[in-house]
Structure 1
């Protein structure tokens, strides 16, 4: 008799992980149908665990600093490969990936691409060009959007819908980068392309200095507008989803899209306080998304994706 934990036990652990790690994602997951909701929890648990391992955190909290980054990445990758091979890892988050991959025919390249994003951060990598920025956003968020679409029942072979799902991940990450410019700078990180900083004459090691604040505000606006373009593109993927999945996606697009729009609107004042979305505003976006989801085929008819937008690797 196997001592491998049951699916129910692994799912319960994943639910606990999302409850501890993200109240917003936990709330949004309630919009999904039960099967999709459980798979979203499973995927979240693995993503959260990898992020915690890479940054020395506990469910996104209490960053301790990491001095053994390569060893952490190697362990994370080995456990992920075991899970993808169907081996019981003995750790709930990686066994969550094992279940998720088995139930969805997940292409192994996708979780590997996420780990490649953690490797970039571990190397202290910085984007030099706008294309570098998009590639980073793909590895840390766009690929998660694609995996979430697969959780919602999208075929791994449906490249067009996965592109739109990736667009939503890119939109979220661009908005996050815009919101966190000051926080990242104080931590010695910068995700603004060096080309952009050169264009505006902003030194990366002094970007928060008062004399550069107006110019930095213009870059925050640029990021916010880019996030809005990818968010709009993502909406056209929702007719391929079941109603409840489309509702959740459109609600998330509104909630996180508001962050990018606020940064763009605030300009140089965007980092005086941390930009967020209130609880009442989130409920408003959920209500609005319900109507959008019902009319999604009329609102977002079949269309060719904007060729000017960056495209995920195949």
Structure 2
């Protein structure tokens, strides 16, 4: 599949939002998404292809974008002078995941994990969106962390069935992934409370991310605001449904995504243009 096809298949919220990006930026962001998806998929496979990820990691540590076997990635990385250090961090995290399922111990470890797998993506996307990477880095990282927290809140049952627990142990009274997946009534309250706490923590990071939106050119700003609103809506829906994770993951319908997207656009019409750097 091409990078755009990968984005359409695996990233419905980003795919919808990407339609509002400048074409060259949409293409480059799709390439970056495909590269990150490749690394994530290698870690997610049942066999955990740690050796394959290690080869990618070795190449990236040599500052070689050609190590990423995604159509157009090397050319894009060179043309955009992409900082590969965040991608190294992402790949290191994937390598650990491939060797053993992740079980988070504490909130500090949760934040480190969310930075490694998603804050890094925000960091790399920042210049692709047209924002100053130095002024916009912290906001971009916060947005990536917030979105990953939304993913975790949505996928608690699915992750537990794969022997993974991204909710900190000290939030869930030390419940194992197997116990979370079993969802026995005595355990549900601990997990539901932790999910609500996670969504609230994610909201703090979404709010921090807001400070960086004004640094993005208007056309790209509308796209990232749409993606943010769609992701945020998923977490809020999890809470609205009382964090009943045992019922399966929540989602937004096509019509709901469209309504949220156009509502976001209407709000952007009232926003000022980006200030001069």
Alignment map for 1:157-172 (pairs within 5 Å): 158=134, 160-172=135-147
**Separation in structure 1 between the aligned mates of residue 272 and residue 155 of structure 2, nearest angstrom:** 35
| Structure 1 portions without partners, runs of 5+ | 1-11, 57-64, 302-314
Cα deviation code 1:174-215 (max 9, x no counterpart): 1111111111112211111112123xx645541322211122
Alignment map for 1:165-184 (pairs within 5 Å): 165-184=140-159
Q: Pick the aligned partner of 2:88 from 112, 126, 135.
A: 112
TM norm structure 2:
0.88
Cα deviation for residue 155 of structure 1 reads 3.1
SS at match of 1:153: coil
Q: Pick the aligned partner of 2:72 from 84, 90, 96.
A: 96
Please name the residue that 1:8 is paired with. none
Alpha carbons of structure 1 residues 235 and 288: separation in structure 2 relative to 1, 3 Å? farther
Please name the residue that 2:211 is paired with. 236
Pairing 1:190–2:165 present: yes
Alignment map for 1:26-41 (pairs within 5 Å): 26-41=15-30
Pairing 1:254–2:225 present: no
Alpha carbons of structure 1 residues 90 and 44: separation in structure 2 relative to 1, 3 Å? closer
TM norm structure 1:
0.78
Pairing 1:121–2:97 present: yes
Cα deviation for residue 53 of structure 1 reads 2.5
**Separation in structure 1 between the aligned mates of residue 271 and residue 171 of structure 2, nearest angstrom:** 36
Q: Is the 8 A contact 2:111 2:145 kept in 1?
A: yes
Cα deviation for residue 101 of structure 1 reads 1.7
Q: Rg: which structure is higher?
A: 1
Alignment map for 1:45-124 (pairs within 5 Å): 45-56=34-45, 65-66=46-47, 69-81=49-61, 84-85=63-64, 87=66, 91=69, 93=70, 96-122=72-98, 123-124=100-101
Alignment map for 1:264-303 (pairs within 5 Å): 264-297=239-272
**Separation in structure 2 between the aligned mates of residue 38 and residue 242 of structure 1, nearest angstrom:** 17
Q: Is the 8 A contact 2:161 2:178 kept in 1?
A: no
Alpha carbons of structure 1 residues 202 and 42: separation in structure 2 relative to 1, 3 Å? closer
SS at match of 1:105: coil
**Separation in structure 2 between the aligned mates of residue 71 and residue 86 of structure 1, nearest angstrom:** 18
**Separation in structure 1 between the aligned mates of residue 68 and residue 251 of structure 2, nearest angstrom:** 37
Aligned pairs, number: 272
Pairing 1:144–2:121 present: yes
Pairing 1:25–2:19 present: no
CA RMSD of aligned residues (A): 2.5
Moved over 6 A (4+): none
| Structure 2 portions without partners, runs of 5+ | none
Higher relative contact order (CA 8 A, sep 6+): 2
Q: Is the 8 A contact 2:163 2:177 kept in 1?
A: no
Q: Is the 8 A contact 1:165 1:237 kept in 2?
A: yes
Cα deviation for residue 90 of structure 1 reads 8.9
Cα deviation for residue 49 of structure 1 reads 1.7
